[in-house]
Amino acid sequence: MDAFVWNERFATRIDSVDAQHRKLVDLVNRVGDMLVDAASVGDEKLQIVFRQLAEYAHFHFADEERVMSAAGLDPRFVAPHVGHHRGFVEQLGAMWQARTGMKNPAESLHGFLASWLTFHILGEDLSMARQIERMRAGKTAAEAFAQESRLADTPTAVLLEALQNLYGVLALQNRDLAEANRSLEEKVAARTRELLQSEKMASVGQLAAGVAHEINNPIGFVNSNFGTLVHYVEQLLQLAELGSTTAEGQRLAEEVGLDFLRTDVHDLLKESQEGLERVRKIVADLKDFSHVDEAQWQEADLLAGLESTLNVVWHEIKYKAEIVRELQPLPLVRCIPAQINQVFVNLLLNAAQAIAEHGIITLRSGRAGERVWIEIADSGCGMDDETRRRLFEPFFTTKPVGKGTGLGLSVTWDIIKKHAGTIDVTSKPGQGSVFHIWLPVAGPGT
């Protein structure tokens, strides 16, 4: 790669401007040399040198504009000159962002920098110097500009203007390309996030289903054995009743408290059966929540999903809040049930965590035309407008460090958006929060 060589053609005879031009030339060559050897130099060092170039270019342009202002040059010359400075800074950033997509970034970026500075110095900067010199000789700013304008018809001036316009077009193309790259990166990031979320939910679902299956087996035979145990206990109590008719039997019955045992054993058996039924219900809800076989779009009962989810996260809620249900029946909704259940998990846990000691979580539902809505309201701490605006930003959290990732509500937003729904939040500090979900009954695309 050929170096950008300074020569006397670039001299404006303005000492500060010429010194800064030389410095820019050196920085341009440093960037070019490092780009040639980018693999061994490393991106971090490259960025440091490029940042130095950008910052120095900004300083030089500001100083050059100060020179033009101090000299009192005609605004008709100053305005486009300043505009070209701004354009160069924009082009510089766009070229740097686009370098990874270039076949030969060293030649392309270095060639652009060297060419732009060459034509800018030979064109506008030398024109600036000539006008300043004429004004020092007694011309007015308008006269100096008029005399300079007559030189604009020369072949060299026409060529320089054409090249300046060409770089302007290049700037627009680079900006559009950079914008397209940013848009593509955002789409790739969103798709990657969606795939990761789907994979995570599938793994969680499989784990939940596996755990539910493993628990279900022992619960099944314990439940069966318990029925037999109740029958045996009844028979033993009858034998004890018969035995207590003798003097020795009556003494033993009084000693062990047979009347108390008879009452208490029934209560113990009843409570144990209720506990087993509770476990069975939790396992059933866990299997329903996981929806391993329901990872595709289908018609689902959202309220059944809400109840299953509530049972799964009940251990996180039961000490914090009372659940109030004001639910209206809903039609089946086309959705991915496991993902909607994930939304319920996030919102229910969020509601519980917003309550300091003990409060109320209210669940409501309804239908409006071709859409249904579900509302989860809490009597917690609420939030200010700034927090509410940022609520669905990835990694934004008001929890202490280590207590939250800031991804739960971001995932919730993505899921609802994927289902062509909306989620609204109303909240005030000290007055709790209300999350209102809307979903189309027929699913997305309707």
Per-residue confidence (pLDDT) for residue 402, from 0 to 100: 42
Both ends of the chain: CA-CA distance in Å?
58
CA 124 centroid distance within chain: 45
Residues 392 and 437 in one domain: yes
CATH number where 112 lies: 1.20.120.50
Interatomic CA distance for residues 366 and 252, integer angstroms: 63
Q: Is 163 inside a domain boundary? A: no
Interatomic CA distance for residues 195 and 192, integer angstroms: 5
Q: Is 131 inside a domain boundary? A: yes
Start-end of H helices in 121-154: 126-136, 141-150
Residues 22 and 103 in one domain: yes
Q: Is 55 inside a domain boundary? A: yes
Last residue of a domain, one of 266, 293, 320: 293
Per-residue confidence (pLDDT) for residue 303, from 0 to 100: 94
Taking residue 119's Cβ as centre, other Cβ atoms within 10 Å add up to 20
Query: In terms of Cα–Cα distance, which of 44, 45, 36, 50 is closest to 94?
Result: 50
Last residue of a domain, one of 258, 293, 328: 293
Q: Is 179 inside a domain boundary? A: no
Residues across the chain? 446
Per-residue confidence (pLDDT) for residue 165, from 0 to 100: 57
Q: Is 440 inside a domain boundary? A: yes
Per-residue confidence (pLDDT) for residue 441, from 0 to 100: 94
Per-residue confidence (pLDDT) for residue 403, from 0 to 100: 45
Q: Which residues touch 373 (CB under 8 Å, ≥6 apart)?
A: 365, 366, 367, 436, 437, 438, 439
Last residue of a domain, one of 293, 310, 340: 293
Per-residue confidence (pLDDT) for residue 41, from 0 to 100: 77
Which stretches of 27-109 are assigned E, i.e. beta strand? none
CATH number where 323 lies: 3.30.565.10
Q: In what order do the strands lie in the sheet with 359-368?
A: 321-326, 359-368, 371-378, 433-440, 422-427
- Phi then psi for 181, rounded to 5 degrees? -65, -40
Residues 308 and 237 in one domain: no
Q: Is 169 inside a domain boundary? A: no
Taking residue 424's Cβ as centre, other Cβ atoms within 10 Å add up to 11
| Residue 225: burial class (beta carbons within 10 Å; 0-12, 13-18, 19+) | exposed
Interatomic CA distance for residues 124 and 77, integer angstroms: 9
Instruction: Identify any residues that bridge with 376 across adjacent strands, giving them in sequence order.
Output: 363, 435
Q: Is 376 inside a domain boundary? A: yes
Residues 230 and 310 in one domain: no
CA angle, residues 194, 195, 197, in degrees to nearest 5: 65
Residues 53 and 107 in one domain: yes
Per-residue confidence (pLDDT) for residue 422, from 0 to 100: 92
Residues 289 and 304 in one domain: no
Per-residue confidence (pLDDT) for residue 216, from 0 to 100: 66
Max Cα separation, the chain?
140
Interatomic CA distance for residues 211 and 192, integer angstroms: 28
pLDDT digits (tens, 9 = 90+) for 390-429: 877 765 666 544 444 445 687 888 889 989 999 999 998 9
Q: Is 174 inside a domain boundary? A: no
- For the chain, the domain total comes to 3
Taking residue 383's Cβ as centre, other Cβ atoms within 10 Å add up to 21
Per-residue confidence (pLDDT) for residue 176, from 0 to 100: 64
Q: Which residues touch 123 (CB under 8 Å, ≥6 apart)?
A: 157, 160, 161, 163, 164
Count CA atoms closer than 13 A to 323's CA, side-chain side.
19
Query: In terms of Cα–Cα distance, which of 159, 88, 95 is closest to 117?
Result: 88
Residues 49 and 88 in one domain: yes
Domain that holds residue 439: 294-446
Q: What is the DSSP string of 281-333?
A: HHHHHHHHHH-TT--S-EEE-HHHHHHHHHHHTHHHHTTTEEEEEEPPP---E
The answer to whether the beta carbons of residues 47 and 129 sit under 8 Å apart is: no
Residues 421 and 302 in one domain: yes
Interatomic CA distance for residues 24 and 34, integer angstroms: 15
Interatomic CA distance for residues 333 and 330, integer angstroms: 8
Beta strand 321-326 with 359-368 is parallel
Residues 402 and 443 in one domain: yes
Residues in the chain where the model's pLDDT stays below 50: 158, 292-293, 400-406
Per-residue confidence (pLDDT) for residue 292, from 0 to 100: 45
Query: In terms of Cα–Cα distance, which of 169, 168, 20, 174 is closest to 80?
Result: 168
Residues 298 and 288 in one domain: no
Interatomic CA distance for residues 11 and 25, integer angstroms: 13
Count CA atoms closer than 13 A to 354's CA, side-chain side.
26
Residues 114 and 20 in one domain: yes
Output DSSP code: residue 101.
Answer: G
Residue with tokens 């300074």: 6
Beta strand 333-335 with 298-300 is antiparallel
Instruction: For the full predicted model, state whether its pTM sits above 0.75.
Output: no
CA torsion, ordered 128, 132, 137, 142, to nearest 10 deg: 80
Residues 124 and 145 in one domain: yes
